[in-house]
Amino acid sequence: MDRFSQLEFSGEEKTPQRDKAPGEPVRDAEHYSKEALKYWLAADYELALRNYSRVLEQNHTRFDGWAGQVLMLIELGEYREAGVWADKALELFPEHPELLALKALACARDAKMDQAVAYSDNSVGKENLTPRVWLSRAEIFLDRKGPIAEGCINKAIGCAGKLAPVIKLEAGRLLCRQRNYVLALQHLKEAVQGLSRSPLAWYELGCCQARLGLSEAVSSLEQCLYLRPDWKEAKDMLRKVEKRGFLGRLFGK
């Protein structure tokens, strides 16, 4: 069964459900949107996806619910399903540049580069471009010669506003994929300043530091695990870094 088959979208926003216990948050679309972002920044993409789905259960016209859902499917490696849901979102938000960019990204991750470029070209031809438009384009042109990708990253950060820490985190992740660790490190250091409670930000910083042979990688990964103790990938990376450091000290002596 499709993971979204049981979602029911009405044309109106549902009345928020209030818990009886005093002090509990109102579980409306805004609440689930904040929860989704929290889980995304903890690299728990499944829980983020569920919360974006709940956003749409509360209010099917929330753009962040649609865009977030597509992005989480991409993070989970479900590229074709991400494309399907981008198409569904485009029915509600026709020609929206960010949705076109996410469709481009899903195509690129699914090795459909001609379609990816076409959707990306379409997205940048629209008005009111979002940082995600430029980040998606940067990834699509990442392996090509020339400064296209770096220029797109700069444009993404330039229009990020309050989202700057998140966009710098995404830029750092992207540059790490390109093995441009020095520039990635700069963005990731700035990202953790604004996202100090994000396990994902600390994890990416630690991985980047490790690839540059920096001893600070240990403390970054430890901070990541302090925030999310059950994250297996972070535990594995920390063990690898600590083992490398031990062997370096051993042979150094």
Q: What's the chain's average pLDDT?
A: 89
> CB 167: neighbour CB atoms within 10 A?
23
- Is the residue at 195 inside a domain? no
> Whole-prediction pTM value?
0.86
Q: Flag whether pLDDT at 2 surpasses 70.
A: no
- Please work out, in degrees rounded to the nearest 5, the angle formed at the alpha carbon of residue 76 by the alpha carbons of 74 and 80: 50
- Write the CA distances from 58 to 17, 54, 126, 134, 159, integer angstroms: 10, 6, 29, 30, 29
pLDDT in tens, 79-117: 999 999 999 999 999 999 999 999 999 999 999 999 999
CATH of the domain at 142: 1.25.40.10
> CB 140: neighbour CB atoms within 10 A?
24
Dist. CA 74–CA 57, nearest whole Å: 21
- Is the residue at 237 inside a domain? no
Number of domains making up the chain: 1
At position 220, the amino acid (one-letter code) is S
- Is the residue at 247 inside a domain? no
Dist. CA 168–CA 16, nearest whole Å: 34
Helices 97-109, 113-124: axis angle to 10 degrees equals 160
- Is the residue at 81 inside a domain? yes
Note the helical H segments in the chain: 29-40, 45-58, 63-75, 79-92, 97-109, 113-124, 131-140, 148-158, 164-177, 181-194, 199-211, 216-227, 232-252
The residue range of the domain holding 114 is: 29-159
143 or 221: which leads in pLDDT:
221
Q: Flag whether pLDDT at 4 surpasses 50.
A: no
In this prediction, residue 8 carries a pLDDT of 37
- Is the residue at 227 inside a domain? no
Q: Flag whether pLDDT at 67 surpasses 50.
A: yes
- Is the residue at 12 inside a domain? no
Q: Flag whether pLDDT at 40 surpasses 60.
A: yes
pLDDT in tens, 204-252: 999 999 999 999 999 999 999 999 999 999 999 999 999 876 444 433 4
- Is the residue at 196 inside a domain? no
In this prediction, residue 82 carries a pLDDT of 97
- Is the residue at 167 inside a domain? no
Across 59-77, average pLDDT: 97
Residue 210: closest CA among 253, 251, 178, 239: 239
Across 21-39, average pLDDT: 86
pLDDT in tens, 107-131: 999 999 999 999 999 999 999 999 9
Q: Which residues pair with residue 17 across a beta bridge?
A: 27
Residues 6+ positions from 213 with CB-CB distance below 8 Å: none
In this prediction, residue 245 carries a pLDDT of 62
The pair of structure tokens assigned to 174 is 């992207």
Dist. CA 99–CA 127, nearest whole Å: 13
